[in-house]
Amino acid sequence: MSATADATEFSLESLGRVPLQGRSKASLERMLATARTLMLERGNEDFTLQEVSSRGKVSIGSIYLRFENKDSLVRAVLYQATQTLAEQEDAMLAELAASCATLQEFVPRYVEAYAEVLRHNAPLLRLTMMRAEHDPPISLLGKRTANNAEAKAVAAFMAYRGDFAVPDPEVCAKAAHHIIFATLARELSLGSSSESVTNYDWNVLKRELARMCAAYFQAS
């Protein structure tokens, strides 16, 4: 299942207006990059189109030529970020699949690797999740992305089906993925600037999460 599976529905073309080439494309990329930079700098969507215009060397008119309104621009940035996250998940899972022989080896490395992927993408992921609360298109994007991530994670676990002691490995793998994602995301505050919101030790958390999953999978 590819990270770009939903490209048609959520493509820039669907969020923006037209396929572009050359100068126009470069200009579109400057808009997106500038908007993303501003969102990362401020941790929210409170940038102005004037700022995008001046910092990104794009005219206000150009922005409205590509995007229906400001929301549309923000959505495009979040869509790109979501794509990136999915691609990194894919790569991470592919690498682990190639290098882990057993479930016992896989579980802690998965927690560790997933934690780093999420940490890296946390700021925009957090904005995506916040926006999903009141923005149906982003909510839909979030659900699809989450479902894809779940499917991919479960498939990765199932490669080690024989190592599960429980009678229902799919159910457990699915639950484990949910729990791992939720815990890591929460501890990252999904974007908290510097320090964690809680002070719970990040390494301890990863270790115990792995330990908990291992016990869960081995319970008879």
Partner DNA sequence: TATGAATGAGTATTCATTCAT
Partner DNA sequence: GATGAATGAATACTCATTCAT
Query: Closest approach of Cβ 48 to DNA, in Å?
Result: 4
Residue among 32, 49, 96, 153 that touches DNA (CB under 7 A)? 49
44 binds DNA, rule: CB under 7 A: no
Residue 4 interacts with which of DNA, a second copy, none, CB < 5 to 8 Å by class: none
Kindly tell me which of 35 and 115 has the beta carbon lying closer to DNA: 35
Report the residue from 7, 33, 40, 65 that binds DNA according to the rule CB under 7 A.
65
Span from 31-39, 53-61, 154-162, 178-186 in contact with a second copy (CB under 8 A): 178-186
Q: List the interface residues with DNA, window 179-218 (CB under 7 A).
A: none
Radius of gyration of the chain (CA): 20
Looking at residue 179, its amino acid is I
- Distance between CA atoms of residues 190 and 129, nearest Å: 9
CA-to-CA distance for 74 and 13, rounded, in angstroms?
14
Q: Number of residues in contact with DNA, rule: CB under 7 A?
A: 22
Q: How far apart are CA 120 and CA 85, in angstroms?
A: 9
Q: Which one of 44-52, 75-83, 100-108, 135-143 is the stretch in contact with DNA (CB under 7 A)?
A: 44-52
Q: How far is the CB of 190 from a second copy (least distance, A)?
A: 9
Indicate whether 60 belongs to the interface with DNA (CB under 7 A).
yes
Decide: is 64 part of the binding site for a second copy (CB under 8 A): no
| C-alpha to C-alpha distance for 189 and 19, rounded to whole angstroms | 36
CA distances from 173 to 43, 119, 214 (A): 33, 22, 11
Q: How far is the CB of 47 from a second copy (least distance, A)?
A: 14
CA–CA gap between residue 168 and residue 210 (Å, rounded): 19
- Which token pair is 195? 């320090």
Which CB, 59 or 99, lies closer to a second copy? 59
Q: Taking CB under 8 A as the criterion, which residues in 11-40 touch a second copy?
A: none
Q: How far apart are alpha carbons 180 and 197 in whole angstroms?
A: 18
Tokens of 154: 């479960």
With CA atoms as reference, report the closest residue to 157 among 146, 168, 144, 141.
168
Which one of 22-30, 91-99, 119-127, 151-159 is the stretch in contact with DNA (CB under 7 A)? 22-30
3-state helix, strand, coil in the chain (%, to 5): 75, 0, 25
Q: Look at residue 35 and give the partner it binds from a second copy, DNA, none, a contact being a CB closer than 5 to 8 Å depending on partner kind.
A: none
Residues that bind DNA (CB under 7 A): 17-18, 23-24, 27, 46-50, 53, 58-62, 64-66, 69-71
